[in-house]
Structure 1
Amino acid sequence: MKVLFDTNLWISFMIGKRLASLADVLCRNDVQVYMSELLLDEIQTVIARPKFNVIISQESRQAFVDMVDNVCHWTPITKQAESPIRDIKDLFILSMAESVPVDFIISGDKDLTELESHAGIPILSYSEFLNKLDL
């Protein structure tokens, strides 16, 4: 199963929320998590904000990048999604999902989850995704 986690989920994982369940997901042979340079750039931009300095150490940030490099499947964004999404900054997530194409977009972003699906790709909350995996 090919999946795409959005930015806010990766940030949640980094600050310790649901980190154990992420490890369970990443260790599964039947789940491939996809990443793009643009998504990683956005994650790094967010965690570089001063408010995260007391929560996420430089070592943890580097460990995250190393982990992503080792466990995620890298993909270029080759499609340009069109969607009536409220936050245009989220459009690249939909474009990336189409480019792979993934089986599921996993998001904690209400703007995305309210869509329920995009281009036939279901958009699930992390809890809904874990239920699908029986975790």
Structure 2
Amino acid sequence: MIRAVIDTNIIISGLFWRGLPKQVFEAVIEGRFVALTSQALLDELYDALNQNKFAANFAAIEMTADRFMNRYGTIVEQVESSEVPFDVIRDPKDRAVLGCAIGGNADCIVSGDKDLLVLKSYEGIPILTAAQFLQRLEET
């Protein structure tokens, strides 16, 4: 089974909107692959979801950030992150994604973040768009 780190931007887009990120998010829920996370990524997701700009989105799906995080924590595998050098990527926050992928022995990373996508891979782990990942998932 594929082991993949799903970046926060894909999770949030998949939770609140339609499109390819939603299909990735639904595949997480359906257990079609092992979704990996780390404490740093969980913290980033929690902080992002608690922004006021998502209050109406949560109301529309009759959910709260806390309830979502509790449920999300039961369907992902939390791993210990590996250290990633500071000079690998422009945005230091993206180091958490790379560290989770290394620490979790991921097969790929799924992101919509251009800073990550431009790398194409890190330590042999491909960095894929939602479309690329869904195609790979269908092929397995």
Aligned residue for 1:24? 27
Q: 2:52 aligns with which of 50, 69, 74?
A: 50
TM-score, with length taken from structure 1: 0.87
Secondary structure, aligned partner of 1:34: strand
- Of residues 79-88 and 105-114 in structure 1, the stretch that sits farther from structure 2 once superposed is 79-88
Q: What amino acid maps onto 1:16 in structure 2?
A: W
- Of residues 92-101 and 107-116 in structure 1, the stretch that sits farther from structure 2 once superposed is 92-101
Secondary structure, aligned partner of 2:48: helix
Whole-angstrom distance in 2 between the partners of 1:50 and 1:28: 30
Measured after TM superposition, the shift of residue 28 of structure 1 is: 4.0
- Of residues 97-106 and 11-20 in structure 1, the stretch that sits farther from structure 2 once superposed is 11-20
| 1:112 and 1:123 in contact (8 A); partners too | yes
Secondary structure, aligned partner of 2:134: helix
Whole-angstrom distance in 2 between the partners of 1:120 and 1:21: 22
| 1:104 and 1:122 in contact (8 A); partners too | yes
Question: Unmatched 5+ residue regions in structure 1?
Answer: none
**Distance change (3 Å), C-alpha of 1:50 and 1:105:** same
Q: 2:118 aligns with which of 89, 114, 117?
A: 114
Whole-angstrom distance in 2 between the partners of 1:39 and 1:25: 16
Instruction: Report whether the alignment pairs 1:125 with 2:126.
Output: no
Instruction: Report whether the alignment pairs 1:103 with 2:107.
Output: yes
Whole-angstrom distance in 1 between the partners of 2:38 and 2:5: 10
Aligned residue for 1:41? 43
Question: Unmatched 5+ residue regions in structure 2?
Answer: none
Measured after TM superposition, the shift of residue 45 of structure 1 is: 0.7
Q: What amino acid maps onto 2:25 in structure 1?
A: L
Instruction: Report whether the alignment pairs 1:87 with 2:91.
Output: yes
Report the structure, 1 or 2, having the larger helix content: 2
Question: Alignment length, in residue pairs?
Answer: 133
Secondary structure, aligned partner of 1:105: strand
Measured after TM superposition, the shift of residue 47 of structure 1 is: 1.4
